[in-house]
Amino acid sequence: MPMKYDLVIIGAGPAGMGAAIIAASHGASVALVDENPVPGGKLRGQVYKEPKANWWIGQEIARNMEKEIKQLGVTCFLEREVWAIYPKWKIMLNNGEQLESDYVVLATGAIEKPIPIPGWTTPGVMAIGAAQVMANIHRVKPGNRVAIIGIDALSLTIAYDLKMAGVDVVGIYLPPFNEFSLDKSNPLKMIAYLSSLSHLAPNPILKLLGKLGKQASVQKLGVNYYPPFGMRVWGIPLHLRKAVVQILGDELVEAIKVTTIDRSGELETKQEKRIPVDCVCISGGLYPLVELANVAGCAFVYVEDLGGHIPLYSDEMETTQSGIFVAGNSTGVEGAKVAMAQGELVGAIISNRLGLLKHGTELIKQAKEKVNVARKNAVIKFHPTIESGREKVLHLWNEKAVK
Amino acid sequence: MRINKHPILGKLDRKEICITYNGSDYQAYEGETIAAALLANHIRVLRYSEKGKKPRGIYCGIGHCYECRVTVDDERSVRACVTVVQDKMKIRSQGMYANEI
């Protein structure tokens, strides 16, 4: 027998929980589905110092939101996967349960892009996000001597997390050039990327690199004058002229093979060096996780600034399938605070559609403003041009409406 | 491998339970995933691949890549990274034998 709700939310991360809290507090009956045993999503792994404020401890924030959800009577379907969505709208779970609702929020978050490197399937190699889950949520070191491949906001943040946890991070390296690594293997592109990091970044690594990258001299001289032995940032060598070309070991990771990149960007294979490690973390960047929007028949657009293919959505976060809304990283990769605010916005919009709000227009306006403020104050930007990406989506939506 | 003291997150204070992996007993903490408990016990190899019988461990850590499939109390292909340990849970690696899928 299908279970009926005013709203079904898929994904219990900051966006999904934000939507659940707002809708339930206005009196909506809400079902919240997640495949993890505990709500919170990737928020649970976050630990960083806020500028001029306290530490942001994701686990505590997630726990408080979970308490609120329970107090508000939100029904949680944990350790469940959504296997299908049928019009309009039936949600089928992997254990045979069926949920029904006029309104669905897809808040499925983001996932890491893998970068295949010879040896990357050897136990001991993991995605950088897995290292954060292990260290910050479960309090288990991903390894004792860890090499990180790939330079981005996530890998630099987690390098700092690992250092705090007492892990020996032997270095951050570039991946070799292949059809998956692309710009991430290019030293010049990486210097340009570093310059986009905020000076407000919540950890000393990001802060220092942001400053360094912004210096005209560094950008001009570029990779030629970047020391081939790397540069130590908060005790972690950051290598812009070294690529990990192979991960060595049969049953377990034993070492990485590192090659110097010469001034023209080519690999100097004669200069290979073997560095012993027991863990390698690969960071290829994040992209929105959007399979369910596809299953539901939503129209898609490709917006590079937002992390790739996303369901087209309106200024009310509704997709081209009426009743299906999106919130959080599945609309574009940003931080947890933006995701939370987006969730709250969607919660308010759906509450209004359900006729639960007296001053709906005003509340929605405030919620939209909260998203903008969270975006403006974001200390970690995964995509430097996120704002223009958001504008592009609205433009595409309006174009579609004109047709 | 345990991070017992953390400068921001503080001391680790969790209830101990016992799990078995391939017939041997290991200590685990209540609330953690199978993948975390095994890694804390220095176990990284969780299964062998169907093709080539190559060792595999955790990769994505969020239930997406399915590299960490293990057998739990006779249920095959449970994802170690999103499944919480229970006291006396019996976990086995997969793909060790030629006739196993």
Residue-wise pLDDT for A164-216, tens only, equals: 999 999 999 999 989 999 888 888 788 778 777 765 566 666 666 666 666 65
Per-residue model confidence (pLDDT) at position A403: 59
Q: Which two tokens stand for residue A170?
A: 């032997």
Q: Quick one: pLDDT band at residue A225, thresholds 50, 70, 90?
A: low
Q: Predicted confidence band at A218 (pLDDT cuts at 50, 70, 90)?
A: low
Q: Which of B8, B67, B81 is the closest to A57 by Cβ?
A: B8
One-letter amino acid of A353:
R
Residue of A371, A287, A381 lying closest to A329 (CA atoms):
A287
pLDDT over 90 at A229, yes or no: no
**Are B39 and A134 within 8 A, CB to CB?**
yes
Domains held by chain B: number:
1
Q: Is the pLDDT of residue A221 over 60?
A: no
- In 3D, which of B58, B61, B57, B91 has the Cα closest to residue B76? B91
Task: List the domain range (segments joined by +) for residue B30.
Answer: 15-92
User: Which residues lie closer than 8 Å to B100 by C-beta, 6 or more apart?
Assistant: B94
Q: Mean pLDDT of all residues in chain A?
A: 91
Q: Which of B30, B59, B69, B79 is most worth mutating to test chain A (most A CB atoms within 10 A of its CB)?
A: B59
Q: Domains in chain A, ordered, with CATH?
A: 3-112+286-402 (3.50.50.60), 125-282 (3.50.50)
A45/A129 Cα distance (integer angstroms): 9
- Burial of B54 per CB tally in 10 Å (0-12, 13-18, 19+): middle
Separation CA A217–CA A252 (nearest Å): 43
| Residue B54, domain member (yes or no) | yes
Nearest-10 Cα torsion for A264, A265, A270, A273: 140
Are the C-beta atoms of A359 and A275 separated by less than 8 Å? Answer: no
Q: Which residue has the higher pLDDT, A1 or A173?
A: A173
Pairwise CB contact (< 8 Å): B8 & A164? yes
User: Cβ–Cβ of B60/A36 closer than 8 Å?
Assistant: no
| Predicted confidence (pLDDT) per residue in A95-109, tens digit | 999 999 999 999 999
Determine the pLDDT at residue A191. 78
More confident of the two residues A238 and A33: A33
- Whether residue B20 lies inside any domain: the answer is yes
What are the counts of helices (DSSP H) followed by strands (DSSP E) for chain B?
Answer: 1, 9
> Residue A215: its pLDDT value, please?
64
pLDDT in tens, A126-145: 999 999 999 999 999 999 99
Residue numbers in B near A123 (CB within 8 A): 44-46, 55-58
What digits encode the pLDDT tens for the residues B67-77? 999 999 999 99
Assigned domain for B37 exists: yes
Q: Look up residue A336 and give its amino acid.
A: A
What residues in A contact B35, CB-CB < 8 Å? 134
pLDDT category, A263, cuts 50, 70, 90? low
Q: Which helix (H) or strand (E) holds A236?
A: strand A236-248
Beta pairing, strands A125-127 & A267-276: unpaired
**Could you tell me if residue B1 is inside a domain?**
no
Look at A402 and B2; give whichever has higher pLDDT. B2
Burial tier of A358 (Cβ tally within 10 Å: 0-12, 13-18, 19+): exposed
The distance of B36 to chain A (nearest Cα, Å) reads 6
The answer to whether position B58 is within a domain reads yes
Is the confidence at residue B97, as pLDDT, over 90?
Answer: no
DSSP for A90-104, please give it. EEEETTS-EEE-SEE
Task: Dump pLDDT digits (tens) for A45-97.
Answer: 999 888 777 899 999 999 999 999 999 999 999 999 999 999 999 999 999 99
Give me the pLDDT at residue B32, please: 96
E strands in B12-83 = 16-21, 24-29, 47-48, 55-56, 69-72, 75-79
State yes or no: pLDDT of A14 exceeds 60.
yes
Given a cut of 60, is residue B1 above it in pLDDT? Answer: yes
ipTM beyond 0.90?
Answer: yes
DSSP character for A113? Answer: P
Q: What is the pLDDT of residue A153?
A: 87
Mean pLDDT, rounded, for B36-45: 98
Q: Which of A356, A395, A375 is nearest to A103 (CA)?
A: A356
More confident residue, A232 or A30: A30
CATH number at residue B49: 3.10.20.440
- Are the beta carbons of A112 and B60 separated by less than 8 Å? yes
**Is residue B74, in this structure, part of any structural domain at all?**
yes
Q: Considering the domain boundaries, does residue B75 fall inside one?
A: yes
Is B4 part of any domain?
no
Going by the DSSP 8-state scheme, the letter that residue A223 receives in this structure is G
Q: Which two tokens stand for residue A334?
A: 């940003």
Q: Is residue A141 less than 8 Å (CB to CB) from chain B?
A: yes
Give the pLDDT band of residue A270 (cuts 50, 70, 90).
confident
pLDDT: is A216 or A355 the higher one? A355
